[in-house]
Chain A
Amino acid sequence: MKLFLKSLVLIFGLIIVATFSFAAEIKIGVAEALTGPIAKYGVPIRNGFTLAAEEINAAGGINGNKINLIIEDEQGKKEEAINVFKKFIFQDKVLAIFGPTLSNSAFAADPVANASKTVVFGTSNTAEGITAIGTYVFRNSIAEADILPAVVKTSKNKLGLKKVAIMYGNDDSFTKSGYDVFKKAVDAEGLQIVATETFAKGDIDYSAQLTKIKSLKPDAIVCSALVEEAANIVLQARKLGIPESVNFIGGNGFNSPKLAEIAGKAAEGVISGSPWFLADPNAKNQAFVKAYKAKFSSDPDQFAAQAYDALYIMSEALKKIKLTGSIDSDRDVLRDELAKVKNYNGVGGKFSFDANRDAEQKGRVLIIKNGKFTVYSE
Chain B
Amino acid sequence: MPELITSFWQTYNTLFYTVFVHGMLALSIYITLSCGQLSLGNAAFMGIGAYTAALLTMKAGAPFGISLIAGGFLPAVVALIIGIPTLRLSGVYLAMATLGFGEVVRVVILNMEITGGSLGLNGVPLKTELWHLILVMGILIYFFIKLRNSRFGRILEAINEDEVAASVMGIRATYYKVWAFAIGAFIAGVAGGLNAHFTFFISPREYGFEPAVDILTFAVLGGTRTLWGPLAGSTILTILPELFRFLGPYRLALNGIILVLVVLYLPNGIVNRDTFTNLKRFFKKEENA
Binding site for B on A (CB under 8 A): 34-35, 72-73, 78-79, 82-83, 86-87, 89-91, 104, 107-108, 111, 127, 129, 170-173, 175-177
Within the assembled complex, what's the spacing in Å between the Cα atoms of A175 and B118?
A: 9
A81 nearest in chain B by CB position: B199
- Nearest-CB distance from B15 to chain A (Å)? 6
Q: Are B248 and A73 in contact (CB under 8 A)?
A: yes
Pick from A86, A127, A129, A176: contact of B14, CB under 8 Å:
A86
B110 on interface, CB distance cutoff 8 Å:
yes
Please give, as numbers and ranges, the residues of chain A lying within 8 Å of B245 by CB-CB distance.
Answer: 72-73, 87
Tell me what chain A mostly uses at the interface: helix, strand, loop, or mixed.
helix
- Nearest-CB distance from A29 to chain B (Å)? 12
- Among listed B156-164, B183-191, B203-211, B269-277, interface-contacting one: B203-211
Task: Give the residues from 1 to 28 in chain B that come closer than 8 angstroms, CB to CB, to chain A.
Answer: 7-8, 10-15, 18
Q: Are B15 and A173 in contact (CB under 8 A)?
A: no
Q: Are A108 and B117 in contact (CB under 8 A)?
A: no
Please give, as numbers and ranges, the residues of chain B lying within 8 Å of A72 by CB-CB distance.
Answer: 245
Chain A CB count within 10 A is highest, among B8, B123, B126, B199, for: B199
B252 on interface, CB distance cutoff 8 Å:
yes
Pick from B120, B206, B252: contact of A173, CB under 8 Å:
B120
Within the assembled complex, what's the spacing in Å between the Cα atoms of A89 and B14?
A: 13
20 sampled A-B residue pairs with Cβ under 8 A: A72-B245, A73-B249, A78-B206, A83-B12, A86-B14, A89-B11, A90-B7, A90-B10, A91-B11, A107-B200, A107-B201, A170-B111, A170-B117, A170-B118, A171-B110, A173-B120, A173-B203, A175-B118, A176-B118, A176-B119
Chain B interface extent, by class: 20 to 34
Chain B CB count within 10 A is highest, among A34, A108, A177, for: A108
Pick from A79, A86, A87, A127: contact of B119, CB under 8 Å:
A127
Within the assembled complex, what's the spacing in Å between the Cα atoms of A34 and B200?
A: 23
Q: Are A108 and B118 in contact (CB under 8 A)?
A: no
Q: Are B18 and A79 in contact (CB under 8 A)?
A: yes
B10 nearest in chain A by CB position: A90
B117 nearest in chain A by CB position: A176
Q: Are B118 and A172 in contact (CB under 8 A)?
A: yes
Within the assembled complex, what's the spacing in Å between the Cα atoms of A111 and B14?
A: 13
Task: Give the residues from 171 to 202 in chain B that come closer than 8 angstroms, CB to CB, to chain A.
Answer: 199-201
A110 nearest in chain B by CB position: B200
Chain A CB count within 10 A is highest, among B8, B13, B126, B203, for: B203
Supplied contacts A87-B11, A172-B118, 11 more A-B pairs, CB within 8 Å? A34-B248, A34-B249, A73-B248, A73-B249, A86-B13, A87-B245, A89-B11, A107-B200, A108-B199, A111-B126, A176-B119
Q: Are B204 and A35 in contact (CB under 8 A)?
A: no
Please give, as numbers and ranges, the residues of chain A lying within 8 Å of B107 by CB-CB distance.
Answer: 171
Q: Which 5 pairs show the lowest CB-CB distances between chains A and B? A: A107-B201, A90-B10, A108-B201, A90-B11, A176-B118
Within the assembled complex, what's the spacing in Å between the Cα atoms of A82 and B84?
A: 39
- Nearest-CB distance from B117 to chain A (Å)? 6
Q: Are A173 and B118 in contact (CB under 8 A)?
A: yes
A79 with B199: in contact, given A35-B249, A171-B204 (CB under 8 Å)? yes
Within the assembled complex, what's the spacing in Å between the Cα atoms of A6 and B112?
A: 70
Pick from B7, B8, B200, B242: contact of A108, CB under 8 Å:
B200
B167 on interface, CB distance cutoff 8 Å:
no
B122 on interface, CB distance cutoff 8 Å:
yes
A108 nearest in chain B by CB position: B201
Per-residue CB contact flags for chain B residues 106-131 toward chain A (1 = under 8 Å, else 0) read 01001100000111101100100000
Pick from B8, B18, B120: contact of A104, CB under 8 Å:
B120
Within the assembled complex, what's the spacing in Å between the Cα atoms of A172 and B248?
A: 28
Within the assembled complex, what's the spacing in Å between the Cα atoms of A173 and B242?
A: 27
Q: Are A78 and B199 in contact (CB under 8 A)?
A: yes
Please give, as numbers and ranges, the residues of chain A lying within 8 Å of B123 by CB-CB distance.
Answer: 107
Q: Are A82 and B119 in contact (CB under 8 A)?
A: no
Within the assembled complex, what's the spacing in Å between the Cα atoms of A107 and B13?
A: 18
Q: Are A177 and B119 in contact (CB under 8 A)?
A: yes
Q: Are A82 and B14 in contact (CB under 8 A)?
A: yes
- Nearest-CB distance from B17 to chain A (Å)? 9
Q: Are A91 and B117 in contact (CB under 8 A)?
A: no
Within the assembled complex, what's the spacing in Å between the Cα atoms of A79 and B123?
A: 15
A93 nearest in chain B by CB position: B7
A35 with B252: in contact, given A104-B201, A173-B120, A173-B203 (CB under 8 Å)? yes
Chain A CB count within 10 A is highest, among B7, B107, B119, for: B119
- Nearest-CB distance from A168 to chain B (Å)? 10
Within the assembled complex, what's the spacing in Å between the Cα atoms of A319 and B122?
A: 35
Q: Are B110 and A170 in contact (CB under 8 A)?
A: yes
Pick from B120, B242, B248, B252: contact of A107, CB under 8 Å:
B120
Q: Are A82 and B199 in contact (CB under 8 A)?
A: yes
A83 with B14: in contact, given A72-B245, A104-B205, A171-B204 (CB under 8 Å)? yes
Please give, as numbers and ranges, the residues of chain B lying within 8 Å of A91 by CB-CB distance.
Answer: 7-8, 11
Pick from A78, A86, A127, A176: contact of B10, CB under 8 Å:
A86
Q: Are A111 and B7 in contact (CB under 8 A)?
A: no
Q: Are B201 and A78 in contact (CB under 8 A)?
A: yes
Within the assembled complex, what's the spacing in Å between the Cα atoms of A90 and B10?
A: 6
Please give, as numbers and ranges, the residues of chain B lying within 8 Å of A35 by CB-CB distance.
Answer: 249, 252
Please give, as numbers and ranges, the residues of chain B lying within 8 Å of A111 by CB-CB distance.
Answer: 126, 200
Please give, as numbers and ranges, the residues of chain A lying within 8 Å of B200 by CB-CB distance.
Answer: 107-108, 111
- Nearest-CB distance from B234 to chain A (Å)? 13
